[in-house]
Structure formats: structure tokens, C-alpha cells
Structure 1
Amino acid sequence: MADAFERRTPATYDEEILAAERHEVISSYTDEDRIRRVTEELRAGFRALAHVGAAASFFGSARTPPGDPEYELARRCARLVGEAGLAVITGGGPGIMEAANRGAREAGAPSIGLNIELPFEQGLNPYVDLALEFHYFFTRKVMFVRYASGFVVFPGGFGTLDELFESLTLIQTGKIVHFPVVLVGSAYWRGLVRWLEERVVAEGKVSPEELRLFTVTDDPEEVRDILRAAAHRRPRIDLSAANDGAA
């Protein structure tokens, strides 16, 4: 009997690992190979970002063009955050990510881009000073949370919503604490907040207090002030070097 699906090579490492058991996906990797690749990607990210202290991760649509009011608002917010002494971390792509990296560079703050391998190439924007390339979405997500003191979320699509709700879940379950989440663009987020209030809270799926895990604002200064008041991580020192120096 002929195969129901034409067999094909996976387009990304994410597809390769997630669809490895599917008959139509061709893979020559073992699970040990996959574990080694994931470990190497985590290790490279930890090493590259170990020096980052206070930082904020910015999210939003890759489809927002320069000159758009949302682009300019993200640029201004990132510039103020950078001037307040925080690094800015984005996905490294175009749109809101570019605007945030651009604002960070204008402030003289570290401008970090965590790019992701995609079947349709998005490429790094020209305002990234420290660039990392990730094959796996889940390893990249670790970096967004581990090296940031809070999230700034601008209007966006599925990827933006994914990061938003993952961060809220981590806070709700106590995996991260003292971690502000700021939604910028009240007109965009109003419908979502109303739905959360009228359906999710009303039906007891989350508590009213849990809606206070995020702040909605249009004010760049408020974004800066919220992030500046967050609990910030310290850059990690090289313990082996420190021990060598003490010897």
C-alpha cells in the first residue's frame, strides 16, 4: 500500500525534534543526538549572556514597519529603558524587535537579538549589537526569561501572545517572581483584557488578583519606571577565573 503522506526532510530543528515519531518525517538523528544539540544550544546561550545584568525583553509584531506609531513608541520605550541602565533583548528580527533594538542603541545600552531559525528567513535587524542564533524555540525562550528582569509586550500575533501567556503562567505558578509584564498599546489590548475579565475570571478560570500580574499602558515613562523598580539579576562572574586569581 502506498504511503498516505510523501516523506520529507524536516524544515527546522524544531520540526525534526517535535515530529520525529511521525512516519512522513525523515530523520537521521538519534535522541542522543537531539539531546546533545539542545545542550550545546543552552550552553552557548548561557555563555554569551552571562555578563548581562539588568535587562528587559521586548516583544511585538515583526510586521510593524518603520514610521508606524507603534514602531516609534517601541523605539522610544526602549531608548528610555536603555537610558535607565537596562539592556534590551528582542527576537532580533524586523518590526517591533527592530524598533526596540534601535532605541537601545540610541541610548548606548546593550542591544541583544535572539534570532530563530525559520523556514522563511527573517534575518537580523541592523541595530543588534550582540546576536545569537537559535534552532529551538524552547531554548530561546529560556534566554528571554533567564536574562530579563521583565517583559514589554507590544501589539503582535501568535508569537507575541505565546510569550505573553508563557510569562504570565511562569509568574502565576511561582517559577519566576518580581517579574513585571507591561502591555503597551491600550487600544490593542483592551479587547483581550475585557475577555479575560468577562469570561476567564467570571468563570473562575483565573482569579481577579491574577489579572494584576500585568500592567497596560501607553506611557513610555511608566514602562521605564516599572522596569527600573523590578528585581534585577546580576551579571554572573567566572568562578574559575575568580578562584585562579585568589590562588
Structure 2
Amino acid sequence: MAKTTVNAQISPVAGMDVLSRNEVSRLRDATQGGLHALLRRCALAVLTQGIVSDDARGMLERYPDFEIQVLQQDRGIKLELIHAPAQAFVEGRIIRGINELLFAVVRDIVYIATQVEAGRFNFDDSLSITHAVFEILRNARVLKPNIEPNLIVCWGGHSIPRHEYEYTKAVGYQLGLRALDICTGCGPGAMKGPMKGATIAHAKQRRKSNRYIGITEPGIIAAESPNPIVNNLVIMPDIEKRLEAFVRTGHGIIVFPGGVGTAEEILYLLGILLHPDNVHIPFPLVFAGPKESVAYFEQIDQFLRLALGDDVANRYRIIVDDPAETARAMAQGMEKVRLFRLNNKDAFFFNWALKIEHEFQTPFRPNHANVAALNLNRNQPRHLLAADLRRAFSAIVAGNVKEEGIRAIEQHGPFEIDGEAEIMRALDAMLASFVSQHRMKLPSSKAYQPCYRVKSA
């Protein structure tokens, strides 16, 4: 019988900045104020890549004896892995890509903690938050100068049927043929498919230095382990900074079918694009899927028009069953983005011009009081309604897959979502369709138990 766990000491293969004794001590500190629990959770997610799950607790329960320690040595640092998943090793040697992502975890956890502790990151105002996002991405070597706009962000569900997954690969292939790079949330499903398709196309085009960027955050990484194709992993402090990182670095976005997490991302982006200061900024946005997904996009489109007005559809295009046209739309959009950035002397590698209000940057804690306080009515500017609708979907995501949200539901029951009756009816119908299509969580032997209740439906 194959060994299921391995003990090993590994050194970085792609270079790693040295760590101070204080930083190593923080990473080894298992108390509430230390970083060890976060390091252990994120490291296990990397080591179990390829296992499809959306259970934030499941992997820790599957590998309860897993341990990781940072060792300070004269020539740098090593990671000591104890009872690590054997699937991360071949003939006793850790897979190189997993090695790189493990040290990316160390890099980001240490950097963010030390910058916050030193007072260099100020999260109290909008501009400072954007600068913090920039600094984290720069430290992760994501921001590349002298590259014209070519980074396509792909959003979509991790729990999607096979035909939708194959479609994301077909679109990724067409993007790769056009020398476009891919950025996703780094997990399975619609986050993996575009990268997998693009790798084949990039190889056919004999293209080197391809970028497959995965952007995640501590609350979701355990439920969506990085897929094996990601070659640049970034862990942002929270979901809001993760979302800002997508729109600041990406030059266009494709949305594939998904569930509440995908709806959250759509509302975040449209809320920003609807801001009066952003109406002139080109940002290609395509909803894409196979012909079997037509009803899904029709329902999303109807909900968006109801809540935010018919003209919200001017900011996106729906392309069904045509991967090549989807890629062409992105390639054409890249030229518009390039010309706009040149004319406005904005960087290609970071979208400084985009106005993002504090409502879209402030971390939303998914608890019952905060959900009840959301203003889900059309008596306010559209971009602010989009911000609160985004928070409602964020709470459902947390209740489904995040440790904090799961605990809140176990203790106090479902989140209660209330608001304008017409919006609530449409919301409840859309969520019910997500449930029936298994878009809330991965299909299992247990029936899905909603973590929410829509009150005015």
C-alpha cells in the first residue's frame, strides 16, 4: 500500500528572500497572535492541490498530524514538513511547482504581517488600501513592466459540470493562441480550465514566460486549493483586497458559469464600473459559456437589469458557445485598453485610473448582524446597491465554505437577508436555481442545507 504521508525538509528552488529571526519566530508561533496556524492551513492547501473539495475543515481533518516548521539556517531557510501528503512528492522529492507555491505562501504571510505590524499599511482610507494592494503584488513579482496589456482574469465556479469545465478549457486555448496570459482565483473548475487550455496553446505557439497567476486569500484557500498550473501564487489579506488585485492587474475579465462566489465577483466589478468616475475607462467584460448555460446567463442578466437598471448591460457582453469569438473580443479589448493607458499615461501593469470606493475595499465580516444591516433597496446610488448586494453574496460564500461563516451558521442558524421585495424575489429565485444546479457546493451524498433565508421573498 502506498505511503500516504511523507516527512521532508525542503529548500526553495526559485529563490527566497532571507527571513529575520523575528519573522521565523512569528511563523513558528502557534498562539492566537502568531502566524503558524495560518501558515499550516495555507501550506496544506498547496500540498493537497488536485484534490477537489470545498470543505474548509476537510483537509485538516484528513491530515490532522500534518505539521510545518520554518528552519533558519546559515544559507537561508528550509521548511520542515511532517506527515505531509505523499501526493506532493515523486520518488521522495517534492514536486517543483509545489515547492515554489509553498515558499510563495511563506513570502506573502510574512510580508503582509510585518508591513501591517510596522504601520506601513494603512487600511483606513481608499488610496492607502490601493497602495497596499500594489505593494503586495509587487513583492510577489506579479507586476511586470514592459509588457503590453494581455492579462485576462477568468472568474467562474469551482463546482461546475464537466461540459462547462471543458468549455473553459476551450476558451483558454483560444486565449493562449492569441498570446494572452491567464489570472484566476487559482482553484479548480473554471479557475483551472482556462489555464489548462492556455498551456496547450502557448506550447503550440512556442511561447515562453507564460503567466498563470492565482490570487487567493486565507479564508478561501483551504476550500479552493491552488490548481497545479498556477506558477505565480499570491495570498491577499482578505476577499476585498483579492478582488481589487484582480481588477487592478487584469486588463479584461471573462466570467464563466458559477454560483454565489461568481455572482459576488460580478457585482463587485459592475459596482466599480458603474461609478461615474469610471464610465470612460475601457474594461472588457464577457460572460461566456456553452449553449447549455444560456439559461444561467439569462437569469444573471435579468437580475442585474432589475437591481441596477437596464443600461448596466452596456458594460458586459454575453457570448454563448463560441470560444474563438470570446477570445477575439478580449484581444480587441486589449487594444482599447492599451490606447487608453497610453493616452492617459497610466501603467500597463496596474490600473491606477480605476476609482474604487471605500465601500468596495472595507472587509465585510460575515455575521448575522452585518448581513441584517445591508441596504438592499434601490433608494441609493447604483454602485452602492451593488456593493451591498456583493456583501450579501459574500456572506453566503462564507456560510458555505469558510470556517468563520460555517461557525456562525452552526451557532445562530441561517443568515437572514432582507430588502426590497422585488429584488428579494429575484434573488431567492436565482439562489434556488444555483442550489438545484449544484452550484452552491460540490455535489455530495448530503443534500445542500442553505446557510441563508431570504425574508421578503
Query: Fold conserved (TM > 0.5)?
Result: yes
Whichever residue aligns with residue 233 of structure 2, its letter is: A
1: CA distance between counterparts of 2:167 and 2:119?
40
1:45 aligned onto 2:45:
no
1:181 aligned onto 2:285:
yes
1: CA distance between counterparts of 2:236 and 2:193?
21
Cα deviation digits, residues 76-103 of structure 1 (max 9, x gap): 1112112212111001111110111212
The number of equivalent residue pairs is 205
Q: Pairwise mapping of residues 47-126 of structure 1 onto structure 2 (< 5 A)?
A: 47=139, 48-51=141-144, 53-64=149-160, 68-108=162-202, 109-118=210-219, 120-126=222-228
Q: Where in structure 1 are there 5+ consecutive unaligned residues?
A: 1-8, 13-28, 237-247
Whichever residue aligns with residue 128 of structure 1, its letter is: V
2: CA distance between counterparts of 1:224 and 1:41?
28
Q: Return 144-153 or 112-121, whichever deviates more.
A: 112-121
Closer, same or farther: CA 88–193 of 1 in aligned 2, 3 Å: same
Whichever residue aligns with residue 228 of structure 1, its letter is: A
Whether the aligned pair in 1 keeps the contact of 2:251 and 2:337 (CA below 8 Å) is yes
Q: Pairwise mapping of residues 74-223 of structure 1 onto structure 2 (< 5 A)?
A: 74-108=168-202, 109-118=210-219, 120-173=222-275, 174-175=277-278, 177-185=281-289, 186-197=294-305, 199-200=306-307, 205-206=308-309, 208-218=310-320, 219-223=322-326
> Identity of aligned pairs, percent?
24
Whether the aligned pair in 2 keeps the contact of 1:91 and 1:116 (CA below 8 Å) is no
Whether the aligned pair in 2 keeps the contact of 1:115 and 1:123 (CA below 8 Å) is no
Q: Tell me what 1:20 maps to.
A: none
1: CA distance between counterparts of 2:118 and 2:197?
37
More relative contact order in 1 or in 2 (CA 8 Å, sep 6+)? Answer: 1
2: CA distance between counterparts of 1:158 and 1:187?
16
Q: Tell me what 2:117 maps to.
A: 33
Q: Which has the larger radius of gyration?
A: 2
Q: Where in structure 2 are there 5+ consecutive unaligned residues?
A: 1-31, 39-112, 124-130, 203-209, 339-346, 350-457
Q: Tell me what 1:228 maps to.
A: 331
Closer, same or farther: CA 152–34 of 1 in aligned 2, 3 Å: farther
Closer, same or farther: CA 175–46 of 1 in aligned 2, 3 Å: farther
Q: Return 100-109 or 80-89, whichever deviates more.
A: 100-109
Cα deviation digits, residues 195-237 of structure 1 (max 9, x gap): 444x34xxxx52x33322111112111211111111345655x
Whichever residue aligns with residue 33 of structure 1, its letter is: E
Q: CA RMSD in A?
A: 3.0
